Amino acid sequence: MKTVFSPLHAGHSGQMELVAGAIVPGFEKPSRAEIIKARIENQKLGEILAPEIHDLTAAKRVHTADYIDFLPTVWPQWEAAGKTGSAIPFAWPTRGLRGDVRPQTIEALLGYYSFDGGASFVKGTWDAIKSSYDVALTAAELIKAGERAAFALCRPPGHHAGAAFMGGYCFINNAAVAAQWFRDQGAKRVAVLDVDYHHGNGTQEIFYDRPDIQVINLHGDPLTEYPFFLGHADERGSSAGEGFNLNYPMPFGTSWEKWNEALEDACQKLAAYAPDVVVVSLGVDTFEKDPISHFKLTSADYPRIGARIAKLGLPTLFVMEGGYAVDEIGVNAVGVLTGFEGR
């Protein structure tokens, strides 16, 4: 299996985030991608390719143009305002406030285009975002050219980013971009299977009224787990998209047996949908030692995930999302890929 990777991800480094009432160093750090890359090399998974450079047309197919145009300006605006340190959102247009008037200051714009304090910027953040987007599209192009599977080693991740907002370490929704790109290239149906511990709220929001892109999430129950405000089982899609959004929320402490039951049901429903291609939002923060998650999967479980996805017999693009137990992230992420390949 070929992997696409860019060293430009490392520009998004040293950022702080707001979480649980504190400003702390970001859990989403460069070592995540580097450990995965090293494991790919160790396991001889396949060739590691640099991404091709793309314009932002594909991003604007799933995100609003004003949001995408805003992202490259964040750090220049932050510096121009005399600010130092991480650019972190801190005020949001919640219920009872106006969200229909675009503000003018960078502090306000950060809140206008986000839903939490986890999507922060440093000087190299935009270059990392853009490289992650290029990685996803280049890997999608490999599938279009005939590869059975490919791995987009994206960093930063993307599945929390919605049509007009960032959050949860995510800026451009790489999996959604790839899914839409496959549609634009002629695929009649695309399925997005999100196995990250945290619900892919952005992907759901983007495709919620669409019958041509099925979105399936296996995740922590939003009654108790981030992102809290989306991901319930009764969210089935709207209008023409009703029935094409499937959520499998699970409680703290879920282990392989129960998680695998959800995966099996999800795979059966995905197979019945009969897509032309599958995009897997690959998060491995379901791991028992993950510092910000509460499932109990072990390293031995991840090859089983890959093997079950392989049984679908469909062209498959793996797009890297979360996973924060940094020491084990390489074993677990690459375990899914080797499991897919039957190794």
User: Quick check: 17 and 117 in contact, CB under 8 A?
Assistant: yes
Q: Is 160 a catalytic residue?
A: yes
Beta strands in 138-209, from DSSP E residues, in sequence order: 149-152, 190-194
| Bridge partners, residue 319, by sequence | 152, 281
∠ CA 53-142-152, nearest 5°, is 70
User: Quick check: 231 and 247 in contact, CB under 8 A?
Assistant: yes
1, 202, 232, 254, 266 from 147: Cα distances, Å = 8, 27, 35, 34, 24
CA distance 181 to 190: 10
Structure token digits, residue 284: 């491995």
User: Quick check: 263 and 305 in contact, CB under 8 A?
Assistant: yes
CB neighbour class for 20 (10 Å; exposed up to 12, middle 13-18, buried from 19): exposed
- β-strands 22-25, 16-19 pairing: antiparallel
Which helix (H) or strand (E) segment holds residue 279: the answer is strand 277-282
Beta strands in 36-163, from DSSP E residues, in sequence order: 48-49, 149-152
Q: At what angle do helices 302-310 and 256-273 cross, to 10 degrees?
A: 20
From the list 63, 160, 198, 294, the catalytic residue is: 160
- β-strands 316-320, 149-152 pairing: parallel
CA distance 305 to 254: 15
List CB contacts of 79: < 8 A, sequence separation 6 or more. Answer: none
Q: Which residues are catalytic?
A: 160
